[in-house]
Structure 1
Amino acid sequence: MTTYPVRTYEEVRETLLARREIALLDVREEDPHAQAHPLFAASFPLSKLELDAYTRLPRRAVPIVLFDAGEGLAQRAADRLVALGYTDVALLAGGLDGWIRAGGEVFRDVNVPSKAFGEFVEARRHTPSLSAEAVETLLRNGDDVVVLDARRFDEYQTMNIPGSISVPGAELVLRARALAPDPRTRVIVNCAGRTRSIIGTQSLVNAGLPNPVAALRNGTIGWTLAGQTLEHGSARQFDPQAGLDPHNLAASRDAARALAGPAGVGRTTLDEAARWAAEASRTTYRFDVRTPAEYEHAHAPGFQGAPGGQLVQETEMFAPARGARVVLFDDDGVRANMTASWLAQMNVEAYVVDDATPQDLTASGTWRGARPEPAPTPRIGAEELAALLAKPSNATLVIDVTSSANHVKAHIPGAHWIVRSRLSHAADDLRALPDAKRYVVTCATNALAPYAAPEIAALTGKPVHVLEGGTSAWIRAGLPTETGDARLASPRIDRYRRPYEGTDNAREAMNAYLEWEYGLVAQLDRDGTHGFFVI
């Protein structure tokens, strides 16, 4: 077993305070990560490491510190990262328990730096807000009100305030003047909980929108707890041309640029950002903060799509190397400057690309991050697998390593689901499966299965194949699927169930979540490493 350097709590804390680069990575699955972790620890599950590493850690020499809670995952993650070419990999002394014993503060939930920052902003700026009851009264009375939902469109479609319009966070300053052209119109910003409504509302206040603006206090959680009815399946979205007329665009651009300067946002060019990204001594992230549709139509090479509202909401997921540079691009002068102003206040070194032209946007399609080549494994087609499964011998067993949510929604009949990180001699998940002469490994799109298959072959000594095209290919072939959780070989720890998503959350969970958010500012004070400020 390879021995790796060890970094103590004190060393990690000093690095954070000095704003030197560090990627503190929790390699457990998302649910245990959400139960307790340091403030700036990014969820980086061992099970998906090869899929994420080259995108989320673009510089091979980035200082990495890994931890788990004693499961042995950090050692395995270190082995994999070194095999992928990372050169500065260390383990956290004592893991999570060592952090706690040394006096380190631990936080619950996910995207904690961003959520804590939202509470910090509200506490410092006294962001205006209205209760769910007050907003419902305004709507019922037919007052001059527009409700703007700052979440992703798919979240909005799940549940929304009646009559609201989907305007994801980075779009608010760009679009609000057109969506509420009468300055007497009251603008209400909401999300599911608190963070995006606070940041969205404060963005409009900071940008000088002449309208009265308020956050819907506690978002759709507050609406639900007040006993009020939500809509479901709504499709109302902002007009893509909203806010782009010369008058509104100039006002929004001037306001955004005026905020970026005092926040400490730097200016750069596409060429300089490309040179920075190639440096071996410093990590540079490059993000295009426009809408997914705009990004997919055309974007600058090397820039990852990261809609600005989500980038502020999930900063540590997009850019887990704390202390790195972050370069933002838009084509309007509003969204990148607004997003950068918030990142800078989160103690992130942020830059905005100036003077780019449409001719610079030579790439298209979704982001395709580099991934390592998996070890070669024999492939099998959907029809051939169906024929094998139809034989009475039951000699072939399908193992599904997709997300548990995908598996429960639809899987190959008889397939057993396993969390890939629990494929080891120390776990009983694989040994608990029915006996088989051969295994076929699948996932949703064949992204993860090729990495898991060689591990299953090594652990079982049996022939292992990968399903070509994954379960998606099986479905496209018109073959039958099952639903449900009857064959879960592992616990569903791969995803933390957020108390603010979906429509069937218990009132106790929603209330507990709100109480947790209220306490984040005090936790920030105890932790002391955040460096947040407000302008």
Structure 2
Amino acid sequence: MTSNTRSPQDIRQALLARAELALVDVREEAPYAQGHPLFAVNIPLSKLEIEVFARIPRRDTAVTLYDNGEGLAQRAAERLQALGYSDVALLSGGLEGWAKAGGELFIDVNVPSKAFGELVESQRHTPSLAAEEVQALLDQQADMVVLDARRFDEYQTMSIPGSVSVPGAELVLRARELAPDPSTRIIVNCAGRTRSIIGTQSLVNAGLPNPISALRNGTIGWTLAGQALEHGQARQFGDVSATTLEQARADAQRVAARAGVATASLADYQRWGQEPQRTTYLFDVRTPAEYEAGHLPQARSTPGGQLVQETDHYASVRGARLVLVDDDGVRANMTGSWLAQLGWEVCVLEPVAASAFSERGPWQPPVPAPSAFEAIEVETLVQWQAQGQVQVLDFTSSAQYVARHIPGAWWLLRSQLRQGLAAIPSAERYVLTCGSSLLARYAVAEVEALTGKPVFVLRGGTTAWLDAGQPVEQGETRLAVPRTDRYQRPYEGTNAPVAAMQAYLDWEYGLVEQLGRDGTHGFTVI
């Protein structure tokens, strides 16, 4: 049991000194989004093992954990110490202690990036057009292109009519190809505000000659104006010419230099990886498809626009060093320019030989070895269900469970096992699953201890069940605990209430003032 504590003042002093620290909220995402310190990252106790090694890679990092009186932080501390983390402490008084000490509380998720975006707009007066103005231009068939800076899957869900998917880090590389005439107007949009602002200001900083504007308030503003969105679109950027690439590279390198981004060799990165007391992340900012076709060993796939938007999720040690890699000299430099303004030490890798991109396939998170467990095949589970006296426990995300799950399976969170099992009829044996069973295998010993019954893991998880052609259920059929694992974002999907969308915009407008009250951000705007 850890008795080490750090005070809110200790954390504040470390932030102002730009020392390395990881301030971790171990609650689920929904309560985290209701209030947390600016630089607190969310690593729920329920998913600790499958996230922490990637997000806090150095085991002697100063890690400070907190909850809001639920007792989760102490359990998380014991678990981290068992995983080899040697400098783990609890935040004195938890979240309440932070607030009582005068610490500012921020709602929502990815707040540092969103607050920074508002700061950029306030200082640079990033040009924007209201939804009604953009609709009028579309109606007039004006010479313009609308570039959607979100992830492609978000674009497919809903998009501005006629827009093209160009995720944020791709904008400076692709925009000249999509709007070769300098008189063509460029509109950049996202769902709300941040990626529209950062994308538009990226093009302005890069010196494109076109008239450039953000779609003010993104698809939220579009919806609030009563205008129609498209759904299921697939328009994407294409290749760029050698001339466009050369110009984009020069633009990006100039912007990165202004922001203080350094360059580094592959040998530098490898040497840094051996340094004590210093955390270095290696992020590949190209598209996921490019990453999977070939990438540097140890590099994590973090498309640049999302890395700027969700920096806290990928680099959870504030004060760490970020090393970025691409194969064009554009995307890493533009991404780096924003991360440097966000207060990070950033280096872009010098060009490396194509042969160095030797790894193939999607990124695989580093995870600790689970305790011993016995896996069963889909056929065995089918037989056991036919015989009765088996309960299937599903530890996937609640959204994935609702979308489809094994008939009869119960959804629950590892952090709430005792409460969840109390709501589930007992059985002679239990089978655990999730999407792949990666997370489920870490729950075996806990379920055995709480039930006193044999516990098994479904090999390959629910994915294997689906691949075998077995039937599935949909909906909230068996929720053993409330769905607190995911904060309902008012800018995602197509069914957000109008009041929630407007409240979200109102909150974003107030972020610059809240940053000033907090006083720890260290952001600069070039």
TM-score if structure 2 supplies the norm length? 0.99
Mapping 1:57-456, distance limit 5 Å = 57-239=56-238, 241-242=239-240, 245-391=241-387, 394-424=388-418, 428-456=419-447
CA contact 2:248–2:330 (8 Å) conserved in 1:
yes
Distance 2:58 2:3 in 1: 19
1:485 to 460, 470, 476: 476
Q: CA deviation at 1:33?
A: 0.5
Q: CA deviation at 1:104?
A: 0.2
Distance 1:369 1:443 in 2: 16
Distance 1:262 1:234 in 2: 37
CA contact 2:329–2:351 (8 Å) conserved in 1:
no
Q: CA deviation at 1:278?
A: 2.4
CA contact 1:66–1:78 (8 Å) conserved in 2:
yes
Q: CA deviation at 1:356?
A: 1.4
Aligned to 2:282, what secondary structure does the other structure show?
Answer: strand
Aligned to 2:137, what secondary structure does the other structure show?
Answer: helix
Q: CA deviation at 1:435?
A: 1.9
Aligned to 1:248, what secondary structure does the other structure show?
Answer: helix
Distance 2:244 2:113 in 1: 29
CA contact 2:149–2:167 (8 Å) conserved in 1:
yes
TM-score if structure 1 supplies the norm length? 0.97
Aligned to 2:22: 23
CA contact 1:396–1:436 (8 Å) conserved in 2:
yes
Q: CA deviation at 1:246?
A: 2.6
Q: CA deviation at 1:420?
A: 1.2
Distance 1:110 1:492 in 2: 17
Aligned to 1:430, what secondary structure does the other structure show?
Answer: helix
CA contact 1:150–1:190 (8 Å) conserved in 2:
yes
Q: CA deviation at 1:481?
A: 1.0
Give per-residue Cα distances to partners, 1:475-500, cap 9 Å, x unaligned. 11111111111210010000001000
Aligned to 1:527: 518
Q: What amino acid maps onto 1:399 in structure 2?
A: L
Q: CA deviation at 1:295?
A: 0.8
Distance 1:435 1:320 in 2: 39
Q: What amino acid maps onto 1:513 in structure 2?
A: Y
Distance 2:263 2:135 in 1: 43
Structure 1: stretches of 5+ with no match in the other structure: none
Q: What amino acid maps onto 1:209 in structure 2?
A: L
Q: CA deviation at 1:4?
A: 3.0
Distance 2:357 2:463 in 1: 31
Aligned to 1:429, what secondary structure does the other structure show?
Answer: helix
Distance 2:296 2:392 in 1: 41
Aligned to 1:13: 12
Structure 2: stretches of 5+ with no match in the other structure: none
Distance 2:304 2:13 in 1: 30
Distance 1:464 1:191 in 2: 45
Aligned to 1:278, what secondary structure does the other structure show?
Answer: coil
Q: What amino acid maps onto 1:507 in structure 2?
A: V
CA contact 1:4–1:89 (8 Å) conserved in 2:
no
Distance 2:298 2:385 in 1: 43
CA contact 1:9–1:98 (8 Å) conserved in 2:
yes
CA contact 2:27–2:45 (8 Å) conserved in 1:
yes
Q: What amino acid maps onto 2:30 in structure 1?
A: D
Distance 1:476 1:297 in 2: 24
Give per-residue Cα distances to partners, 1:378-412, cap 9 Å, x unaligned. 21111111111112xx3111111111011111111
Which of 204-213 and 461-470 deviates more? 461-470
Q: CA deviation at 1:369?
A: 2.3
> Given the alignment of the two structures, is residue 498 of structure 1 paired with residue 494 of structure 2, yes or no?
no
Which of 54-63 and 200-209 deviates more? 54-63
Distance 1:497 1:321 in 2: 25
Give per-residue Cα distances to partners, 1:125-155, cap 9 Å, x unaligned. 0000000000011011100010000000000
